[in-house]
Structure 1
């Protein structure tokens, strides 16, 4: 096809500069050594957003996807240009600074994409989504930049659990946590670690990565049948090829992410996540996606209110007995959507040009075992509970197992610690007793900064025989594997920004009611208000922490720019977006 004919085949492209301009000629000079010929210069120029690196199995197969995707896009008359971004792995890049880099990396990826795609004025992007933070970052960037975009969920790893009944990475994480506290057979643990992961891809369970892969499909920016999917399977490769065609459609018809990521789409994603007992991280990620897409949607309240009406249709590890392979084989996100159709918005569009209703017509019905119908759910009790009250005015969250044996309420005196290590020491010394509510504070978005993982303290409580016999409250975050007893995380406002959790004193009674969705400190508000403001105590450096990175590092910048969880923990506010323009935090204490 001649260059002039190609211009007629595509709509006007922002990447096509006047041929005699400095930008056009400089770009021609830079690209010619890369093998890009003159007749390719007026094609749609699309970023393949690759998050490949050598740090984890999650990313090991992405370069192979890029080569196939380039061929598919070129055959469609598109010029693909691969770009790279940051990409954390929760199990690898959580070592430095006690895990505080992991959540902030989500927004770093989003900004990486903006710099590369906007800086080069590319016409669209196709994003290879793998580990936990890459998918929300890709969806956030899509909402922010609003150029034609398709997200490809790149699949989950083959695990020892699925292969021969051994362990998967989640089992290694859980048992290794106990092992580090209790001790045991080191050789047995090493053998488990050596055989847990049998191939590339994300963790083999319905944790954050597979939950977010499903969200990409539910929102409509991924093709139907894309999630969950085995990495490097024929189904994944079919999704890759169909994704290239979907991007060509979006470019030709000017289909943009904000046409797809609507308030109805976000609420549908909430419904699906509740119906499968997904990761609690989907709350803040969906809120961030909504904010970046310019939507006034309170995702926290949507989880809170819909949790009382959306039944649980699937029960997948780590929340239940079935494997993610079972979920895929039973139809995955497409079948769950089909069964939830009466609760959804079927007329909304997707990136392929189909409506959601048209997608549902082609989906397989529920098998009644792995995925159930609305009339025969696993449970009507929510597996994700959003709580609010005097201790968490803007929100907090609890993850529940399925089936849920309770308890559902807990009242006890606060026992306050300010780091995971301090809490583990208190457990070891017997200072935490049955009936207490352990409060780990000052580890939130700003207090961390970056909301590091505190699961080690929960595992220590379980190891001491206190699971279900103490409550647990934190403004940090913990793994969905830790879901026994009454535990509440991501309390907001956090201690560092003036929240009530920072005003607690040892012995203050705390009442948690998962049925009512409430969490309160039973102290007169005037007494709380009269207390001095929270001050972050000095924490001894974790032995894994890097030495001082200099006067200003990324986490310092993150602390100064991060917005509250009610805004999805995005960096800097988006005017006119977010729930009620994102509720203001209480006035901060003087430094």
Structure 2
């Protein structure tokens, strides 16, 4: 049988590298270890975020099992940024750009040290696309272990989560709840470790990566603090060794068909609009053609069946407890022709082989997942809108609850902070289209999420009465009549930069149109008077990012 230490032998079996060998002896390796395959165990562990605080414990469980499978494992940390903690602050500008740092850092360490494979343990939102982008670049046997979702909080017998705390501020401001109730909701929203509980970005991407075959079955739905998550960590080294032995690489698993599966599952579950950015970036990294128009086509083809927050009622923990795990949903969608079951996975088996023996979904005993015959919405909630405001596209999340059309007068803000102050001080009238611009990938820079203004809007009871459009993006927790990712962005001279207060804006989610109803002659006059504002940063990482980043319509990649 061929050796499985294909890359590490470049160091361990090279007799002209005595210093390297001396250093390996110094960290505890024995002579007999030099012919073993080496696995990088990468986690996004850090203490200041519940999504990530437990990942080092999971990494240690993996390392124990690595040794038992006659492999060498090295624990490695990369960075993370807490979206929840930075939301609404200037720190949020670093969230999306952190995806590139994560991918670059993992690629650097695994390549430089000639590791034979990779086990990645991400937790928060940008962790997941960051690690999968590095895995595609490296193309070495790899498996992802999702850090898992948080359990729900509880207030007065009702399940609450992180979005409850954001929306509570709007309710307190409208005197719908007391200061004491507000404090108790905030204090009880996050009871422990794990990623934010709804079908927000982390859980959306975890579900997508499972159906794409890059995790073991059930990884996306095992809660962070569950015994099943620990057992998953013990199982993974067996499968990484199998991938090494059978020469199964990420690009054998990540194909156009598996990417389609991922997008379709994300849409069926009502996933975050961030899936659009990340799937475009993932596909680009794999040299696979996926366009915004194709994503719209997928959304037209599949129904919304996930009754999951933020637009629905349930959390990821309910998929674990009520449905008995993501594979039950995947099996149902395969059997009904929504997704393809013949794609290869990290188990060495096909997706269908992984799920064929799980139980069938029961629609009589739960309301978490609806049947395809009685969906929440007959087609997907992801809408790619075009028009004079967004000639290169924009992304809306329309479940139907908020309506399908909105026409209103523009109220324009050149920063999120301005908009938040106005919304919080109850200065937004019904029928307004809030415009937040210069918050795109170049303009912010970093394309921060607009969860704070959308949460204020929902908490204030204006969810169906105002709309919001932006060249920024939205958290998976955002809901309401919102349109983001507008391309070209304001900083690049997109039409969003030319909108004035009281201009009429039309949002048509049935015909996928986003229109500024201003005469072309007037638009041309405004174009001649417009000059790009100076970049908000002059040095550092965000400056470099603003110079390299592509538009949102191309996934905000820096390659």
Confirm whether residue 321 of structure 1 aligns to residue 317 of structure 2: no
- Give the CA deviation at 1:173: 2.4
Deviations 1:304-363 (A, max 9, x none): 112222112221122212232221230332122112111222222111111122123123
Residues 534 and 451 (structure 1), Cα distance of their counterparts in 2 relative to 1, 3 Å cut: farther
Bigger drift between 406-415 and 105-114 goes to 406-415
Confirm whether residue 557 of structure 1 aligns to residue 544 of structure 2: yes
Deviations 1:103-143 (A, max 9, x none): 11111111110111111121110000211111111111111
Match of 1:513? Answer: 508
Confirm whether residue 479 of structure 1 aligns to residue 475 of structure 2: yes
Tell me the TM-score normalized by structure 2. 0.92
Where does structure 1 lack aligned partners over 5 or more consecutive residues? 1-7, 542-547, 573-591
- Give the CA deviation at 1:205: 1.6
Confirm whether residue 285 of structure 1 aligns to residue 285 of structure 2: no
Match of 1:273? Answer: 266
Residues 102 and 502 (structure 1), Cα distance of their counterparts in 2 relative to 1, 3 Å cut: same
Match of 1:47? Answer: 40
Match of 2:382? Answer: 384
Matches within 5 A, 1:90-101: 90-94=83-87, 97-101=90-94
- Give the CA deviation at 1:259: 0.9
- Give the CA deviation at 1:487: 2.0
Residues 362 and 238 (structure 1), Cα distance of their counterparts in 2 relative to 1, 3 Å cut: farther
Cα distance in 2 for residues equivalent to 1:304 and 1:555: 31
Match of 2:487? Answer: 492
Cα distance in 2 for residues equivalent to 1:192 and 1:162: 6
1:119 is aligned, of 106, 109, 112, to 112
Cα distance in 2 for residues equivalent to 1:170 and 1:449: 25
Secondary structure at the counterpart of residue 473 of structure 1: strand
Verify the 8 A CA contact 1:147 1:256 in the aligned structure 2: yes
- Give the CA deviation at 1:50: 1.4
Cα distance in 2 for residues equivalent to 1:464 and 1:406: 15
1:415 is aligned, of 411, 415, 418, to 411
Cα distance in 2 for residues equivalent to 1:65 and 1:163: 33
Residues 187 and 162 (structure 1), Cα distance of their counterparts in 2 relative to 1, 3 Å cut: closer
Residues 54 and 14 (structure 1), Cα distance of their counterparts in 2 relative to 1, 3 Å cut: same
Match of 1:344? Answer: 339
Cα distance in 2 for residues equivalent to 1:415 and 1:18: 61
Verify the 8 A CA contact 1:418 1:537 in the aligned structure 2: no
Verify the 8 A CA contact 2:394 2:485 in the aligned structure 1: yes
Cα distance in 2 for residues equivalent to 1:426 and 1:231: 38
Matches within 5 A, 1:397-436: 397-401=395-399, 404-427=400-423, 432-436=428-432
Confirm whether residue 85 of structure 1 aligns to residue 72 of structure 2: no
Cα distance in 1 for residues equivalent to 2:164 and 2:293: 32
Residues 358 and 166 (structure 1), Cα distance of their counterparts in 2 relative to 1, 3 Å cut: closer
- Give the CA deviation at 1:460: 4.5
Secondary structure at the counterpart of residue 496 of structure 1: helix
Match of 1:544? Answer: none
- Give the CA deviation at 1:412: 2.8
Where does structure 2 lack aligned partners over 5 or more consecutive residues? none
Verify the 8 A CA contact 1:143 1:294 in the aligned structure 2: no
Secondary structure at the counterpart of residue 150 of structure 1: strand
Aligned positions, number: 552
- Give the CA deviation at 1:506: 3.3
Confirm whether residue 452 of structure 1 aligns to residue 439 of structure 2: no
Secondary structure at the counterpart of residue 483 of structure 2: strand
- Give the CA deviation at 1:381: 4.1
Cα distance in 1 for residues equivalent to 2:314 and 2:118: 35
Match of 2:371? Answer: 373
Cα distance in 2 for residues equivalent to 1:310 and 1:260: 23
- Give the CA deviation at 1:462: 5.0
Verify the 8 A CA contact 1:17 1:23 in the aligned structure 2: no
Secondary structure at the counterpart of residue 448 of structure 1: coil
